[in-house]
């Protein structure tokens, strides 16, 4: 399957109490995805479900998770989750479309 290629970096800035991070290294990895994540972030930003930072986290987290689920769809971890995810994606796409139509008016 052809995929867009991404490099992901996660940098720990502070702990839950606001103390500066004690981690010396970031988590970094390369990953592929069948979707253009940048376009998805644009669509979700336009739909205005969340603020800009939350939208980025939501879109990227969701797409990374769903790609793993897609690649390992027969894995026992995803057995019970798949029907709910399919319905969630259908509903989300419908909401994005509706919001786009409203914003176009």
Instruction: Output the pLDDT for position 37.
Output: 97
Residue 8: predicted pLDDT = 98
* pLDDT at residue 100, as a whole number: 83
* Mean pLDDT over the full length of the chain: 95
pLDDT category of residue 87 using cuts at 50, 70 and 90: very high
Task: Give the residue among 96, 83, 33 at the shortest CA–CA distance from 62.
Answer: 33
Q: Domain of 31: which CATH number? A: 3.10.20.850
Cα–Cα distance, 105 to 95 (Å, whole number): 16
pLDDT score recorded for residue 24: 97
Number of domains in the chain: 1
Report yes or no on whether pTM surpasses 0.85. yes
**Rounded CA gap, 28 and 8, in Å?**
6
Return the percentage of the chain with pLDDT > 70, whole number: 100
What is the span of the domain harbouring residue 92? 4-104
Q: How many CB atoms lie within 10 A of CB 2?
A: 5
Q: Is the pLDDT of residue 90 over 90?
A: yes
The CA-based dihedral angle spanning residues 94, 51, 101, 95, taken in that order and rounded to the nearest 10 degrees: 10
Tens digits of per-residue pLDDT, 28-78?
999 999 999 999 999 999 999 999 999 999 999 999 999 999 999 999 999
Instruction: Return the half-sphere exposure (C-beta side, CA atoms, 13 A cut-off) of residue 54.
Output: 5
């Amino acid at each position: 399957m052809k995929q867009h290629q991404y490099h992901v970096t996660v940098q720990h800035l502070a702990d839950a109490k606001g103390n500066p991070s004690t981690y010396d290294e970031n988590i970094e990895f390369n990953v592929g995805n069948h979707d253009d994540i940048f376009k998805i972030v644009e669509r979700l930003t336009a739909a205005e479900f969340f603020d800009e930072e939350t939208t980025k986290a939501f879109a990227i987290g969701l797409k990374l998770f769903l790609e793993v689920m897609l690649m390992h769809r027969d894995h026992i971890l995803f057995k019970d989750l798949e029907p709910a995810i399919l319905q969630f994606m259908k509903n989300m796409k419908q909401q994005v479309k509706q919001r786009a139509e409203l914003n176009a008016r």
